[in-house]
Amino acid sequence: MVETMETVLRRSALFANLTDPELHVLSARVHTSRFGRGEQLFAEGDACRGLFLVVSGKVRISKLSSNGREQVLAVEGSGSSFAELPIFDGGNYPASATAMEDTEVLVISRSDFQNCCREHPSVALKVLAVVGSRLRRLVGIIEELSFTTVRQRLIALVLRLAETDGKSSKQGVWFDLKMSHQDLAAELGTVRELVSRNLSRLQAEGFLEMEGKKILIKDVAGLKNQQDSSQ
């Protein structure tokens, strides 16, 4: 069944409590855009053209350092919003957004969204909650980059992937790694070579087995201990 624009908007935390007539008015001011895997929605420094809501697919929010190293700040999926801040301060996009797979988004212009907030102050409060949550996440990223090693961050990520996508077997917990080593490096704030080196080391130490894109964690408890004790 094809979803109406109002149904899609209601899935977002920002607009979940609007009435049907209010959603109908807002939906008339929204347009849809589609992007293929690897296609950029906008680049860091681009002029703000609106707020985005993900209908389907996934979008990577990231920044590039002066030497070209990418740091992933967030991955936004269906129902998520992003690019809220420039809507209010009038500045350019502070980070880049790239489709990780075929993705459909809704775009709401700055003027239309501000008008919505004037008419419905609760929407502005919801934006503040989203931005506050995102700020906490960024503080967490700063803490990880400042106080943990690449090995610790890699182990933490492997354990998270196993928890969300893993399947138990007699040998341990296995999952399919859907990211390349370059993508892992971008999420961990390091370079691909260090990711590959640390994965090989964990395999040599007997914590993991790797076969193509499949990773088997042979000793989950031991890997958690390594995360806590790595220097």
Give the torsion sign (CA, 139, 141, 146, 147): positive
- Edge-to-edge order in the sheet of strand 40-42: 40-42, 96-99, 59-64, 70-76
Structure tokens at 192: 């691909």
CATH architecture under which domain 148-229 falls: Orthogonal Bundle (1.10)
Average pLDDT on 150-157 reads 89
Residue 130 in this model has a pLDDT that exceeds 60: yes
CATH architecture under which domain 5-146 falls: Sandwich (2.60)
Secondary structure of residue 168 in the 3-state scheme? strand
Q: What global pTM score does this model have?
A: 0.70
Residue pair 173/216 in contact (Cβ under 8 Å)? The answer is: yes
pLDDT in the model for residue 168: 87
Residues of the chain with CATH 1.10.10.10: 148-229
Residues of the chain with CATH 2.60.120.10: 5-146
Tally of CB atoms within 10 A around 4: 12
User: pLDDT for 141-150, tens place per residue?
Assistant: 787 777 888 8
User: pLDDT for 70-118, tens place per residue?
Assistant: 888 888 999 899 998 898 888 999 999 999 999 999 999 998 888 888 8
